[in-house]
């Protein structure tokens, strides 16, 4: 899989925010405290175009919520591949991520928290949070199996980093990330000017 260029066009008569997010295939999100995140938010006026890139690279990020002597959140990050198992450990000076020798057979990315504190564990792309599991306690594991699809939703009140709960996942289309896709053209079309009915149009280019 290569980086995929995403070309967005707003062909409606009003401005919208195009919200990009991804889902997980292996969790009950309400139970496992894993949330889809507004990864990219693109504001588009009528007739406006914007381009984004869905990168092949993924980062595993652990955020320590209560680090000593500071109010800031400490982040530990590593580039990861699908199927890898990681553990968050105490190192000589602070904390670190350690790659384990075994692989997840379902291609998920997992991270076990071995330190005596509660952390948030996330996957990032392009420096922005994609999915996250909050409040992972010592001995617990965050397991991320991404669906091979990127979702696009139009909205007017969502910011980058907002949680995308199932109750607000409407007005969406999906981009299939399988196969040798080089780019995708995604447009929001005005179907009926009187009623305001809209429809997505997606063209995949290989």
**pLDDT score of 85:** 97
Residue 187 has pLDDT above 70, yes or no: yes
Condensed to tens digits (0 to 9), the pLDDT of residues 83-116 reads: 999 999 988 778 999 999 889 988 999 999 999 9
Q: Encode burial over 15-27: b for 16+ CB neighbours within 10 A, e otherwise.
A: ebbbbbbbbbeeb
Highest-pLDDT range among 32-36, 76-80, 146-150: 76-80
Q: What does pTM read for this prediction?
A: 0.88
Domains and CATH numbers, the chain: 4-55+148-205 (2.60.40), 58-144 (no CATH)
């Amino acid at each position: 899989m290569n980086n995929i260029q995403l070309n967005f066009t707003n062909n409606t008569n009003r401005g919208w925010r195009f919200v990009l997010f991804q889902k997980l295939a292996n969790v009950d999100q309400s139970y496992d405290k894993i949330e889809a995140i507004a990864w990219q938010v693109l504001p588009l006026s009528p007739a406006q175009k914007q381009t984004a890139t869905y990168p092949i690279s993924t980062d595993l990020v652990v955020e320590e919520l209560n680090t000593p002597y500071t109010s800031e959140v400490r982040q530990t990050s590593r580039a990861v591949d699908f199927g890898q198992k990681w553990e968050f450990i105490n190192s000589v000076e602070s904390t670190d991520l350690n790659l384990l020798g075994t692989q997840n057979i379902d291609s998920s990315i997992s991270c076990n928290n071995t330190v005596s504190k509660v952390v948030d564990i996330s996957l990032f792309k392009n420096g922005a949070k994609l999915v996250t599991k909050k409040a992972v306690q010592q001995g617990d594991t965050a397991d991320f199996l991404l669906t091979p699809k990127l979702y696009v939703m139009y909205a007017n009140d969502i910011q980058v980093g907002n949680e995308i709960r199932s109750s607000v996942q409407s007005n969406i289309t999906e981009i299939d990330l399988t196969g040798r896709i080089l780019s995708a053209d995604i447009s929001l079309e005005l179907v009926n000017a009187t009623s305001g009915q809209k429809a997505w149009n997606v063209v995949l280019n290989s």
